[in-house]
Structure 1
Amino acid sequence: MNRSIASGVFSVVSAKVVVLVLTAISTPLLYRFLGASGYGEYAFLMSVFAIYMIFVSSGITDGVRKFLAEDRNATNWSEHVVGFYFRLAVGLAAVGAVLLVLAAQFGVVSIAFGEEFTIYFYVLAVLVVTAQFRDYARKTLMGFGLERYSEPLKILDKVGFVAVALPLAYVFGVMGALAGHLAASLLVAVAGLIIVHRRISLSCIYSKPTERFPRTKMLTFNSMSIVLVFLLMSLYHIDIVMLQHFRESADVGNYRAALVLAEFLWFVPLAIQTVFVHSTSELWSQNRHRKISELASKATRYTFLLTAVMAVGLAALADVAVPIYFGSEATPAIAPLLLLLPGALGFALARPILAVSQGEGTLRYPVAATAAAALINVVLNVALIPRYGMHGAAVATSVGYGTMFVFHCWAARHVGFDPLADARIGRVALTTVLAGAPIVALATAISSPWLALAVVPPVGFAIFVAFALLVGALDPAEPFEVLSIFPDPIGSMAASIQGRLEGDGDGQPRSWYQHLLFVAGLSLLVSGLALGVLETDALLVSP
């Protein structure tokens, strides 16, 4: 199958950027329209649905993508794969929908979650069907290497949800938000299946493959991957489900708001993870373990640096950002957000390591590592939520997230690579501590919320980078090495600067440059703090 991996990765990452922007815009509006309580009910329903759909669709979506990508020489191989998984998707969707209807009809939902949730599960039953074929269509297109179609469909799904859910949520509350998901998934399913039909006629669903067709293998494929997905999803959602059981929906809504902000830290690791699944698979096939360790440890270091500066900035601006972003009703979300940030950072570090392990193909150790973190997460949630509510959930989830990094480092050693070879964990941690103090001080000194949001991120980033270069967490040429892969003129200019910074070619940065950075860092620090003090004084003397 001829396709450009780079093009596919670019499509995936570009779609993630667009979806992230749309999510960032729509989430606070949805919170305001539903209120803390309604948003909590909505978050709970989406968590239950996400866990439920693992068993309905995971084997299908991963299977159709894998076996189509194999492009075997067997006669009508692609047609038989598409037809086989389509029939399986129909059967599992029907069973999944019927089970939800029966659970609502016979009072199981009422007993487990409360009478008010019964009506929502009828909508979720329909959503099972539309979401099944939405995901089937997208993954089928990815199996054909058509990310240029599958990823715009992901954007279409988000746009459709925003366009329908926001006005309906304003009028009908939670039911309107669910209707948005239903309409968007139906739209994407229809559009996706039409594109699939143009690639391979869907009449293939009626064709019967030969006896040699690997039905058993395809049915049992990816059982370990399904287990891994389930464990990961439990880390994402078990706290929401348990919090709904022990606390009011308003607490769930505010806790979910804190999670949304904490999960914004994962964008960079997700992008790196997407690239690494592709790039390391080939390296594993060539047994280039040293190169894999080099890439993994560098990705760990970059992830730590980028996520740490985002976490420090978010912590410094939490008192300002949360009320502005979600509204004053979300003020109780500030404390859970601060408790979640350390764990979100640890989970971010685990993602590239997990991606490299997946590229090797043996999932035993990654599953064991994720299972250990998930078990800790569940135990702590059970212990802390009944007594401490959303603060207990935040502590439990943060610890569970954080242990992912520790356990996956252990798993990586057993898989056959070292993610800490050039991670410089100590230096990055020192950078975070040294830069954190002035960044927090700067945010505290500026009394105007909007001015703080405008000043602290760029100045804080400059302070962080300066300290990273000074303590050796980041080499001066490395940022330009990354920029050198961009199209010209950015790429050529960055490559030229990189060459000059590397000096005479021995790979060591020039000492005068470090001294210059030291002065620049101190200057930025002093200027930033002075700006904050001046702003505070101006506010104090204003009438």
Structure 2
Amino acid sequence: MKAAPITASSRPSHNVARILARKGGTAFLLNASGMVIAFLLQVLLARELGVDGYGHYAYVMTVLTFLVFPAKLGFDTTIVRYVAAYRSREQWGEVKGLLRYSNRWSVGLSLAVVGVGFVALWLYSDRVERELYDTFVIGLTFVPFLALATLRQSALQALNEVLYAQMPEKIIRPVLLAGCLYAAVHLGTVSSNAPTAMSLFGFSLLATYALGAWVLRRKTANQLKDVQPAFQRKEWMRTSLSLMANAGIYLILGQMGVLMMGMYLGTDDSGILSAAVRVASLVTFAMTAINMTAAPLMSAAYAENDMKRLQRVCTASGIASLAFAGAVLLVFLIFGREVMAVFGADFRAGYIPLLIMSAGQFVSALCGQTGMVMTMTGHQGILTKALIVSALLNVGLNAVLIPAYGMNGAAAAMCVAGSFWPIAMVFVVKRKLGIETSVLQAIFNRKRGGRQ
């Protein structure tokens, strides 16, 4: 999508700091609440299921995450990018067409993924523990709803409805799952195991999916009611395939260590590492929350050819993200063992991996919104190349380091590979767009300019 030229007189004025403070503040508070709830949910699951049960549940959830991304076909990010631009131009026919087109593809691909998953599970049934097998069977049935829920979330995000985009998944779903799990185990006769937890996850997913779909329909009723859908199929598909490749690589960078730990050392160690991965992701929590608001602003600014506003979005979001990342990293350095022990005594073994992965997350925050800028401005092809190098590095390092160093090796692989692409993109974004995403880069250049 090329940036559409807009004259200065016709371009609307935007107070970026105010928008990010208001909308980003809402996203931050919502995600912060969701973070606390998700953390408590993981603690509840770990304590109720034990190391074995939690390991099975976490491993299946990791596999489901890998299965959902081809079912989405990259349309989740495509929706954020295009709907935000279409909204700024009031092209509601294209909005309606993209939502309809993406949902149809997602349903078809989800069913295909589920079918392949069941065949693979049947072929390897004699090599899989019974509890793990049952957990897989239950989890596979919910792949279509996971994919469609993600698309709905992206649509609301692009419409700047951050609260409604995040509330079902961040707040309602984990609270519902935790309440159902506790009631089923302590007030009923249901056994505390991974299949039970996965079944209750599915129930909570279906409930929040229905709620989210209803909200999206209400929020778009006035704009889309009497509008004929317009389709840009080739452009959307080309963009989505590229973004799907990027999403898959992000997934490899974040979860491949957990999968390879399970293959090399078993699901107990992979469960502990999975908990450490979740905790380490809190370092870039602010960046993720702010991106909910920043991404549509980036897309709209580029569509309107307003590079100064794009720079302001990157600078304002980068400062807030880096400050939060530094504070969280410090907390983990001092209290990391206690944080991991909340999951259970056995999870203390994840302290060193937590610190290693947190350092990698801090590097990402230091580099700023590089990946989001490249995606929202149509330069995802360059990003893909850097991500491929990082993914290959991740897999290679995991294969070498896990057998020798276990969880610490997996954490080191994720840290090194996960730091490569954002560092590279800092320089690419500057060269391609003239945008400085790193706060330190911006400060250094200002000081150098002041001395000249």
Q: TM-score range by the shorter chain?
A: 0.7 to 0.9
Work out whether residues 360 and 418 of structure 2, in 8 Å CA contact, stay in contact via their aligned partners in 1: yes
Write the mapping of 1:123-522 to structure 2, written as runs, cut at 5 A. Answer: 123-142=138-157, 145-154=160-169, 155-168=171-184, 171-198=191-218, 213-285=231-303, 296=314, 300=318, 302-323=320-341, 325-416=342-433, 417-420=435-438, 422-423=440-441
Matched residue, 2:9: none
Per the TM alignment, residue 56 of structure 1 is displaced from its structure 2 partner at its CA by: 0.4
Q: 1:310 to 1:63 in 2, by over 3 A?
A: closer
Matched residue, 1:17: 32
Q: 1: distance between equivalents of 2:354 and 2:35?
A: 19
Per the TM alignment, residue 131 of structure 1 is displaced from its structure 2 partner at its CA by: 1.7
Q: 1: distance between equivalents of 2:152 and 2:309?
A: 36
Q: 2: distance between equivalents of 1:5 and 1:51?
A: 34
Q: 1:227 to 1:169 in 2, by over 3 A?
A: farther
Q: 1:84 to 1:349 in 2, by over 3 A?
A: same
* Aligned partner letter, 1:160: L
Q: What is the TM-score of this pair, normalised by structure 2?
A: 0.80
Q: 1: distance between equivalents of 2:291 and 2:174?
A: 22
Per the TM alignment, residue 126 of structure 1 is displaced from its structure 2 partner at its CA by: 1.1
Deviations 1:255-277 (A, max 9, x none): 22222222221212223433432
Q: Secondary structure at the match of 1:172?
A: coil
Per the TM alignment, residue 293 of structure 1 is displaced from its structure 2 partner at its CA by: 5.3
Work out whether residues 380 and 396 of structure 1, in 8 Å CA contact, stay in contact via their aligned partners in 2: yes
Per the TM alignment, residue 186 of structure 1 is displaced from its structure 2 partner at its CA by: 0.4
Q: 1:421 to 1:262 in 2, by over 3 A?
A: closer
Q: Secondary structure at the match of 1:255?
A: helix
Matched residue, 1:492: none
Q: 2: distance between equivalents of 1:114 and 1:93?
A: 25
Q: 2: distance between equivalents of 1:78 and 1:407?
A: 33
Q: 1: distance between equivalents of 2:75 and 2:388?
A: 23
Work out whether residues 169 and 177 of structure 1, in 8 Å CA contact, stay in contact via their aligned partners in 2: no
Q: 2: distance between equivalents of 1:351 and 1:422?
A: 10
Deviations 1:317-376 (A, max 9, x none): 2233332x2232222122222332321211333452323333333112222222222221
* Aligned partner letter, 1:326: F
Q: 2: distance between equivalents of 1:55 and 1:357?
A: 21
Structure with bigger RCO (C-alpha 8 Å, 6+ apart): 2
* Aligned partner letter, 1:227: A
Work out whether residues 64 and 140 of structure 2, in 8 Å CA contact, stay in contact via their aligned partners in 1: no
Q: 1:167 to 1:176 in 2, by over 3 A?
A: farther
Stretch deviating more after TM superposition (15-24 or 270-279): 270-279
Structure number with bigger Rg:
1
* Aligned partner letter, 1:217: E
* Aligned partner letter, 2:295: V
* Aligned partner letter, 2:174: K
Deviations 1:426-467 (A, max 9, x none): 9xxxxxxxxxxxxxxxxxxxxxxxxxxxxxxxxxxxxxxxxx
* Aligned partner letter, 1:316: I
Per the TM alignment, residue 73 of structure 1 is displaced from its structure 2 partner at its CA by: 7.6
Deviations 1:136-180 (A, max 9, x none): 433344455544433322222222222224455773311122123
Q: 1: distance between equivalents of 2:75 and 2:307?
A: 32
Work out whether residues 361 and 415 of structure 2, in 8 Å CA contact, stay in contact via their aligned partners in 1: yes
Task: Please tell me whether residue 51 in structure 1 is matched to residue 66 in structure 2.
Answer: yes
**Is there any run of 5+ residues in structure 2 with no aligned partner, and where?**
1-11
**Is there any run of 5+ residues in structure 1 with no aligned partner, and where?**
427-472, 474-506, 508-543
Matched residue, 2:4: none
Q: 1: distance between equivalents of 2:413 and 2:439?
A: 30
* Aligned partner letter, 1:186: L
* Aligned partner letter, 1:384: L
Q: 1:144 to 1:339 in 2, by over 3 A?
A: closer
Q: 1: distance between equivalents of 2:317 and 2:90?
A: 37
Per the TM alignment, residue 399 of structure 1 is displaced from its structure 2 partner at its CA by: 1.5
Seq. identity, %: 18
Deviations 1:62-99 (A, max 9, x none): 44555555258889655554443333333222222222
Q: 2: distance between equivalents of 1:258 and 1:101?
A: 30
Q: 1: distance between equivalents of 2:183 and 2:290?
A: 35
Work out whether residues 336 and 391 of structure 1, in 8 Å CA contact, stay in contact via their aligned partners in 2: yes
Q: 1: distance between equivalents of 2:357 and 2:159?
A: 39
Work out whether residues 235 and 397 of structure 1, in 8 Å CA contact, stay in contact via their aligned partners in 2: yes
* Aligned partner letter, 1:249: T
Q: Secondary structure at the match of 1:349?
A: helix
Deviations 1:480-506 (A, max 9, x none): xxxxxxxxxxxxxxxxxxxxxxxxxxx
Matched residue, 2:5: none
Q: What is the TM-score of this pair, normalised by structure 1?
A: 0.67
Per the TM alignment, residue 22 of structure 1 is displaced from its structure 2 partner at its CA by: 0.5
Work out whether residues 28 and 290 of structure 2, in 8 Å CA contact, stay in contact via their aligned partners in 1: no
Q: 1:249 to 1:84 in 2, by over 3 A?
A: closer
